[in-house]
């Protein structure tokens, strides 16, 4: 009797990325570019702290930034919203005094918000609605909100008259450009929230988990604040590798330095690594990637026991970003082998 020696089919390796909006979308494109070369399954778990109800619609800025970037449908100049956008409906909304005149909802972008709101009203949770929206674009990547619960990031600020106010993150970020006295960030309702089952499984089960070079406070930090996320990272069977969001002490994009100052984190490659902490000390990281200009901090972190590598971190195009992802995966596998 011939013995059936079924050669085990190698299971595809999986990578889960935790990401915010603009930087997250660009990084996700690079990971996908690599995945297509190395036959990897990619899941991107995205921050939902920026999400809000506006003009009766559910707007999810970071999920949309990542989705549009992966769909090649994003406005690469502005860094958010759709390419080839128009603003006819937005002008009508402003004329009616509905919504925020300083927060532009483009016509194509409104299509996404209307579709998402319709799906939510149909009874879909955000995970399901996100999957349905993403299916239209055939992204080759699974897109997951970090939670299905509404946990808006609010910001405690001083009004011009000196009194305190608590405003939505998007008002702080877009209307005020973070240029008002700021006391802290609050995740409203976080105590009643939990990481989604799909996101927790994607983090626990991945061969490697990557922290995108997103804002360590209001993107990655906000996700870490959702109950269950830290536990999922601690229980992750794969190594957790972070990518520094600052190069030479300056944020690659956005306002990581402003946000770090608000919460007292040193906005450097070493400062953020220490803020995330080494996994073996109860923190997040098995390894950390810094840019070559921060090679000295790499040596310093390595001495402190955090496996660190200095590689080019400018996400100038998909190839450059894929090289970053490749270095992160290699460092992660090295860390796990150790």
Residue 337, SS3 per DSSP: helix
Q: Rounded CA gap, 118 and 108, in Å?
A: 16
Please tell me whether residue 257 binds ligand FO1 under the rule CB under 6 A. no
* For ligand FO1, the closer CB: 219 or 297: 219
In the complex, least distance from residue 216 CB atom to ligand FO1, rounded to whole angstroms: 13
The stretch near ligand FO1 (CB under 6 A) out of 58-66, 131-139, 238-246, 268-276 is 58-66
Binding residues for ligand FO1 restricted to 5-24, rule: CB under 6 A: 20-22
The tokens describing 224, both together, are 């870490």
- Give the residue with the Cβ less far from ligand FO1, 216 or 332: 216
222 is a site residue for ligand FO1 (CB under 6 A): no
CA dihedral 190, 191, 192, 197 (to 10 degrees): 70
The answer to whether the beta carbons of residues 184 and 263 sit under 8 Å apart is: yes
Any contact of residue 80 with ligand FO1 (CB under 6 A)?
Answer: yes
Considering only 32-40, 60-68, 86-94, 135-143, which stretch makes contact with ligand FO1 by CB under 6 A? 60-68
Which listed residue (57, 69, 110, 173) binds ligand FO1 by CB under 6 A?
173
Cα torsion through 19, 20, 26, 27, rounded to 10: -20
Q: What gap in Å lies between CA 220 and CA 283, rounded to an integer?
A: 14
Of the two residues 69 and 290, which places its CB atom closer to ligand FO1 in the complex?
69
Kindly state the smallest distance separating residue 171's Cβ from ligand FO1, in Å: 10
Q: Please tell me whether residue 135 adopts helix, strand or coil conformation.
A: helix
Among positions 18, 19, 31, 59, the unique one binding ligand FO1 when judged by CB under 6 A? 59
With H, G, I as helix, E, B as strand and everything else as coil, classify residue 11: coil
Contact 25, 31 (CB under 8 A): no
Q: Are 78 and 253 in contact (CB under 8 A)?
A: no
Nearest to 223 by CA among 201, 190, 177: 190
Structure tokens given for 28: 């996700």
Greatest distance between any 2 Cα atoms in the chain = 89
187 interacts with ligand FO1 by CB under 6 A? no
Q: Does 170 bind ligand FO1 (CB under 6 A)?
A: yes
Give yes or no for a contact between 236 and 203, defined as CB atoms under 8 angstroms apart. Answer: yes
Q: Shortest gap between Cβ of 206 and ligand FO1 (angstroms)?
A: 24
Binding segment for ligand FO1 among 25-33, 82-90, 97-105, 260-268 (CB under 6 A)?
Answer: 97-105
Q: Is 51 in the site for ligand FO1 (CB under 6 A)?
A: no
Is 61 near ligand FO1 (CB under 6 A)? yes
CA distances from 81 to 58, 64, 69 (A): 15, 7, 9
Q: How far is the CB of 104 from ligand FO1 (least distance, A)?
A: 4
- Interface residue with ligand FO1 among 104, 130, 187, 196 (CB under 6 A) is 104
Report the interface residues with ligand FO1, using CB under 6 A: 20-22, 50, 59, 61, 64-65, 80-81, 103-105, 109, 170, 173-174
């Amino acid at each position: 009797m011939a013995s059936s020696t079924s050669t085990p089919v190698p299971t595809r390796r999986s990578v889960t990325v935790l990401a915010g909006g603009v930087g997250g979308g660009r990084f996700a494109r690079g990971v996908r570019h690599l995945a297509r070369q190395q036959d990897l399954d990619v899941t991107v778990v995205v921050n939902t702290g920026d999400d809000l109800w506006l003009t009766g619609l559910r707007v999810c800025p970071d999920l949309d930034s990542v989705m549009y970037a992966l769909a090649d449908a994003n406005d690469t100049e502005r860094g958010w919203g759709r390419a080839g956008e128009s603003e006819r409906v937005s002008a009508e909304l402003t004329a009616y005094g509905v919504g925020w005149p300083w927060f532009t909802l483009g016509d194509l972008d409104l299509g996404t918000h209307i579709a998402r709101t319709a799906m939510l009203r149909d009874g879909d949770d955000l995970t399901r609605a996100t999957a349905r929206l993403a299916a239209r674009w055939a992204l080759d990547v699974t897109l997951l909100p970090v939670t299905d619960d509404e946990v808006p990031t609010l910001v405690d600020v001083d009004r011009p008259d000196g009194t305190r106010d608590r405003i939505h993150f998007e008002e702080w970020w877009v209307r005020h450009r973070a240029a008002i006295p700021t006391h802290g960030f609050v995740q409203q309702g976080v105590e009643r929230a939990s990481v989604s089952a799909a996101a927790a499984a994607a983090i626990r089960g991945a061969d490697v988990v990557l922290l995108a070079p997103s804002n360590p406070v209001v993107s990655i930090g906000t996700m870490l604040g959702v109950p269950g996320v830290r536990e999922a990272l601690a229980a992750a069977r794969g190594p957790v590798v972070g990518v520094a969001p600052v190069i030479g002490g300056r944020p690659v994009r956005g306002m990581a330095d402003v946000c770090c100052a608000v919460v007292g984190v040193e906005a450097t490659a070493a400062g953020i690594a220490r803020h995330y902490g080494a996994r073996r000390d109860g923190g997040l990281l098995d390894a950390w990637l810094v840019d070559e200009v921060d090679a000295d901090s790499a040596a310093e972190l390595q001495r402190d026991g955090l496996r660190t590598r200095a590689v080019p971190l400018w996400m100038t195009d998909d190839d450059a970003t894929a090289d970053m992802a490749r270095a992160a995966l290699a460092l992660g596998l090295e860390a796990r082998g150790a």
